[in-house]
Amino acid sequence: MLVAIICKDKPGALQTRKNNRAAHLEHVDASGVVTIAGPFLDDAGEMCGSLVILDVEDMTKAEEWAAKDPYALAGLFESVEIKPWKKVIG
Q: What is the pLDDT of residues 42-59, one digit of tens each?
A: 999 999 999 999 999 999
Has residue 16 been placed in a domain? yes
Return the CATH number at 9: 3.30.70.1060
Has residue 31 been placed in a domain? yes
* d(C-alpha 9, C-alpha 14), whole Å: 8
Q: Could you tell me the residue range of the domain that residue 30 belongs to?
A: 2-84
Overall domain count for the chain: 1
Least Cα distance to 42 among 69, 72, 10 occurs for 10
Q: Do residues 88 and 7 lie in contact, with contact meaning Cβ atoms separated by under 8 Å? A: no
Predicted pLDDT of residue 90: 86
pLDDT tens for residues 58-81? 999 999 999 999 999 999 999 999
pLDDT tens for residues 3-49? 999 999 999 999 999 999 999 999 999 999 999 999 999 999 999 99
Has residue 32 been placed in a domain? yes
pTM for the whole structure: 0.94
* d(C-alpha 80, C-alpha 34), whole Å: 16
Q: Do residues 24 and 69 lie in contact, with contact meaning Cβ atoms separated by under 8 Å? A: yes
Q: Do residues 67 and 27 lie in contact, with contact meaning Cβ atoms separated by under 8 Å? A: no
